Amino acid sequence: MGASPFQRSILEVRLPKHFDKPTDMRYDGTQDPLEHLTAFEARMNLEGVGDEVRCHAFPVTLAGPAIRWFNGLPQGSIYEYSDISRAFLAQFTTRIAKVKYPINLLGVSQRPGEPTRKYLDRFNDECLEIDGLTNSVASLCLTNGLLNEDFQKHLTTKPVWAMHEIQTVAKEYINNEEFSQVMAANKQ
């Protein structure tokens, strides 16, 4: 065995026979390390493996600068999985995604000429990045950013607070908007 950052107790553990190495997961140092760790740990939980196997499997997910970082760890410095996850987060901490708050949604507004469907897609993408977002706040921010006056009027005169209800109402307005665009194109 060559120099390894793992303690002997980790190196001596064999991988289970039917263990599926996470070769489809790659972290190269440019993404959010918390997302990578979360996905890796979920995968290891599905596999039902312990610390030692997690330690063996983790380097398989690293590429480029991340694997070079791992290979540069001091020999015998990793006793358990928490050591490697802590060191990994410390090394790539600047890549942790900035936390977004509900107020960030006020910066998401429909651009002039932007189809309502595209605006809603962008808005929904932003919503997915905000922890603890309530339906009422999302609804207010969505309404605030709308340029489609008919849709905006509907949402303000008949308040709809749940996002799934807004999506249902939005389908009608999107269909009308897209139908109008097709009709206008056919008249030309």
Query: Does the pLDDT at position 10 exceed 80?
Result: yes
Look at residue 1 in the predicted model and tell me its pLDDT.
43
* Highest mean pLDDT out of 16-25, 49-58, 93-102, 138-147: 49-58
DSSP category for residue 106: G
Kindly report, residue by residue over 112-162, the tens digit of the pLDDT. 999 999 999 999 999 998 988 998 899 889 989 999 888 888 888 877 677
Our CA dihedral for 181, 183, 184, 188, rounded to 10 degrees, sits at 140
- Sequence letter at residue 68: R
pLDDT of residue 2: 58
**pLDDT band at 23, cuts 50/70/90?**
confident
Q: Are 33 and 96 in contact (CB under 8 A)?
A: yes
What is the rounded average pLDDT of the residues 176-187? 84
Domain boundaries, the chain: 8-95, 102-187
Gap between the Cα atoms of 21 and 19, Å rounded: 6
Which of 1-5, 90-94, 126-130 has the least mean pLDDT?
1-5
pLDDT tens per residue, range 30-88: 999 999 999 999 999 999 999 999 999 999 999 999 999 999 999 999 999 999 999 99
- In whole angstroms, what is the distance from residue 127 CA to residue 121 CA? 10
67: helix, strand or coil: helix
Tokens linked to 172: 């009608």
The residue among 94 and 160 whose pLDDT is bigger is 94
CA-CA distance, 56 to 97, in Å (whole number)? 27
The CATH number for 102-187, chosen from 4.10.240, 3.30.450, 3.30.2010, 1.10.1200, is 1.10.1200
- Which DSSP state fits 116? H
The single-letter DSSP state of residue 97 is: P
pLDDT at position 56 is 93
